[in-house]
A and B are shown apart, each in its own frame.
Chain A
């Protein structure tokens, strides 16, 4: 479930910045808590409630979205995440979403200082989305789909190096089943779209390892078509769109082995710029993310400099069971 059994790569811990964390006992716990000041627990992680959430998923449709996201932070942090989002339309109003993720992250390193690294699965998000309000018109579409589910503890929250926990930014899980609730709202017309979501992930304190803390997220997005500016009278052209997303995150306090980590809360606001190209069966996008505001209690918290990401989305039609007339 969690811990070092999950494909952990330690490149070296000698003379690492957090070497003192190996000291056991009360002092060790205090130092672990201090170490959490170098956390960037989840703010670099993409929101599982992407704006895909607000759009319809047909009954029997399977959507798979592959993402690659790199993050560069100070001091000397690099992360690579590979989340895969799978959506399946159960009935017209209800869709099931699953987010799988695996990430590589490395902290520190230099001519005389080996880096600390980990490569492991992250927690799996599973949630249902139900459209409670939809206003479909010939010129516009408006949806409000609340969502609810949980993060399952597939990631590691007790990944260690030389007997001590690695810093929170190198942990990949929360160690507990985290209830996950929220809602999305979306509006689209033929030339313009806007969407937003607000979600809360409740992270109960785990008995062991690092609990990254509960998290509130709120995202807002606007998008418009770049090409073709005027749609052709006939047919379905590929569309090139530009999207601006603002992502706000508020992280509650972290815990280490059940002990509150002081100075571990934080708030961030980041801005994404994304270019997307859509066809009937797939969509590809590339974008960058810049922090607009990073407010942490700890003066030594990791501060993101820049993220770049690429995604590819493919739509599948699932075959129906033969001779099930009611299936239509």
Chain B
């Protein structure tokens, strides 16, 4: 009986956490970039390294077959095709076309390929490094 209660509590908390991370608030901005020359997981990591440094970038969807990355930004973030192309350039690739659109409806991010981007808040550089990589 007690085990059942614990399992139920864990399930409720887990569901709340999942719901909290896979649903987006309205009002954000989405950038979709077609990539050139990214055919491997490591290539996508090159892009992620740069997105981690891009203010307001919250989520990224990695699609290997399409060689495409979709980035969702926090509401109020100014996003331009040039800033996304700069990310691709700094990752070592020739930039491809980028389209920008406003998010007007809640977004379901439970599909394969979505990754939460990390922007460590602490001032300690070692702590930031751990937060970024583990």
Real binding pair: yes
Binding site for B on A (CB under 8 A): 55-61, 89, 92-93, 131, 134, 136-138, 140-141, 188-190, 193, 231-239, 278-281, 283, 315-322, 327-328
What's the Cα separation between A70 and B84 when bound, in Å? 45
Closest to B89 in A: A92
- Contact status B41-A238, CB under 8 Å: yes
Q: How many positions in chain B have a CB within 8 Å of any CB in the partner chain?
A: 48
A92 to chain B, nearest CB (A): 5
A-facing mask of B24-49, CB < 8 A → 1, else 0? 00000000001111111111111111
Q: Are A190 and B67 in contact (CB under 8 A)?
A: yes
Given contacts A61-B49, A318-B132, 11 further A-B contacts (CB under 8 A): A55-B42, A56-B46, A57-B92, A59-B91, A134-B37, A236-B41, A238-B41, A280-B44, A280-B45, A280-B115, A317-B52
B53–A320 CB distance below 8 A: yes
Q: Which residue of A lies closest to B37 (CB)?
A: A141
B112 to chain A, nearest CB (A): 3
B63 CB–A CB distance under 8 Å: yes
Say yes or no: A278 contacts B64, CB within 8 Å.
no
In the complex with contacts A136-B93, A279-B41, A60-B64 CB distance below 8 A? no
B90 touches A59 (CB 8 A): yes
> B64 and A318: CB pair below 8 A?
no
Closest residue to B130 on the A side, CB-wise? A319
With A57-B92, A189-B39, A278-B40 known to touch, is A236 a contact of B50 (CB < 8 Å)? no
| B34 A138 Cβ-Cβ under 8 A | yes
Point out the residue from A188, A237, A281, A322 that lies within 8 Å of B45, measured CB to CB: A281
CA distance A93 to B129 in the complex (A): 24
Q: What is the total of A-B residue contacts with beta carbons within 8 Å?
A: 142
- Chain A residues whose CB sits within 8 angstroms of the CB of B86 once the complex forms: 328
Contact A92 B39 (CB under 8 A): no
Contact B63 A236 (CB under 8 A): yes
Q: Which residues of chain A are near B128, meaning CB under 8 Å?
A: 319
Q: A58 contacts which of B47, B96, B118 (Cβ < 8 Å)? A: B47
Q: Tell me whether A237 and B46 are in contact (CB under 8 A).
A: no
Q: Does B62 contact A (CB under 8 A)?
A: yes
* Cβ-based interface call for B113 (8 A): yes
A235 B40 Cβ-Cβ under 8 A: no
Enumerate chain B residues within 8 angstroms of A237, measured Cβ to Cβ: 64
Across the interface, do A137 and B37 meet the contact criterion of CB distance under 8 Å?
Answer: yes
For A231, give the chain B residue with the smallest CB separation: B65
The complex places the Cα of A188 from the Cα of B92 at a distance, in Å, of 15
B65-110 interface with A by 8 A CB criterion = 65-67, 83, 86-87, 89-94, 96
Q: Which 4 A-B pairs have the closest CB atoms?
A: A56-B92, A235-B112, A141-B37, A235-B113
A57-B92, A61-B45, A92-B92 given; A317·B133 CB < 8 A? yes
Given A58-B90, A92-B91, A279-B41, A319-B125 contact (CB < 8 Å): yes
Would you mind naming 25 contact pairs between A and B with Cβ atoms under 8 Å apart? Answer: A58-B46, A58-B91, A58-B92, A59-B92, A60-B90, A134-B37, A134-B94, A137-B36, A190-B67, A231-B64, A234-B112, A235-B64, A236-B41, A236-B63, A236-B112, A239-B41, A278-B41, A278-B42, A280-B41, A280-B42, A281-B45, A315-B49, A317-B118, A319-B132, A328-B54
A residues less than 8 Å from B113 (CB atoms): 234-236
Asked if A138 contacts B64 (CB within 8 A), the reply is no
CB distance from A274 to the nearest CB of B (A): 15
Residue of A nearest to B94 (CB): A136
Contact A328 B53 (CB under 8 A): yes
* Residue of chain A at shortest CB distance from B86: A328
* B38: chain A residues within 8 A (beta carbon): 141
Q: A190-B39, A235-B63 are in contact. Are A317 and B125 (CB under 8 A)?
A: no
Q: Does B2 contact A (CB under 8 A)?
A: no
- A52: nearest residue on chain B (CB-CB)? B42
**A residues within 8 A CB of B89?**
92
What residues on B are CB-neighbors of A56 within 8 Å?
Answer: 37, 43, 46, 91-93
Which A residues are CB-close (under 8 A) to B96? 138
**Chain B contacts of A189 at CB under 8 A?**
39
List chain B residues, Cβ under 8 A from A321.
Answer: 125
